[in-house]
Amino acid sequence: MLGEILPLLEAAAPGRFHLSQEAEPGKAMQMWQDIAGGKNPLTREGVVIHPTHGKPMKSKLTEDHDVHIHSFFPGEGRRASTVGGFQYSLQPGGEPVGKVGTGFDDATLADMAANPDDWIGRVARVRAQEQLASGALRAPSFLARHEDI
C-alpha cells in the first residue's frame, strides 16, 4: 500500500519521503553502526526491530545526562494534584534550559509535590536523544535522582 502512495507523496514534495531502509540479519549490525556513527543520511535516531514473533520495537540512540532540578511545573489531568515534572538547568543555580515531563511514576511525582526541598537543587539523571545547541535536551526522560551528588 505504501509503495502505491509513495510516488504521489514524492510528486507533491520531492525528496521529502522515502521508504525505510531494511537490513538482513547479517547486515543489521553494520546498519546500526552507521546510524550510531552519523554515517546514515536518512536517520540518526535508531531502528525499528521486527522480530520473527511479536510486535516490532523501537531501539533509539540515547545518552544519559546529569541535570540540576530548578523548579516544578504543574501536573495536568489525573496528575493535577501533584507536579507534571521539572525544569532543569545545566549548572547549579543556573537558568532553566528545558523541562522533563516523562519517566516518572505516580509515587515520585507525589513525593516531589510533598517534599520540594528534597528535590529542588538536586541532580537528576535523565536520558535524551541529543543535546541541542541551546543546552536543552531533546526528548528527555527521568531516570533517577542522584543520591550521591
pLDDT recorded at residue 1? 56
Residues 6+ apart with CB under 8 A from 97: 88, 89, 90, 134, 135, 136
In the chain, which stretches have pLDDT less than 50?
none
Assess whether 95 and 131 both reside in one domain: yes
Assess whether 73 and 130 both reside in one domain: yes
- Residues spanned by the domain of 115: 63-145
Domain boundary among 45, 60, 75: 60
**Contact criterion met (CB below 8 Å) for 103 and 125:** no
Tens digit of pLDDT for each residue in 38-66? 898 888 888 888 888 999 998 888 999 99
- Helix/strand/coil for 124: strand
Assess whether 51 and 69 both reside in one domain: no
Assess whether 48 and 111 both reside in one domain: no
Assess whether 103 and 140 both reside in one domain: yes
Q: What is the pTM of this model?
A: 0.77
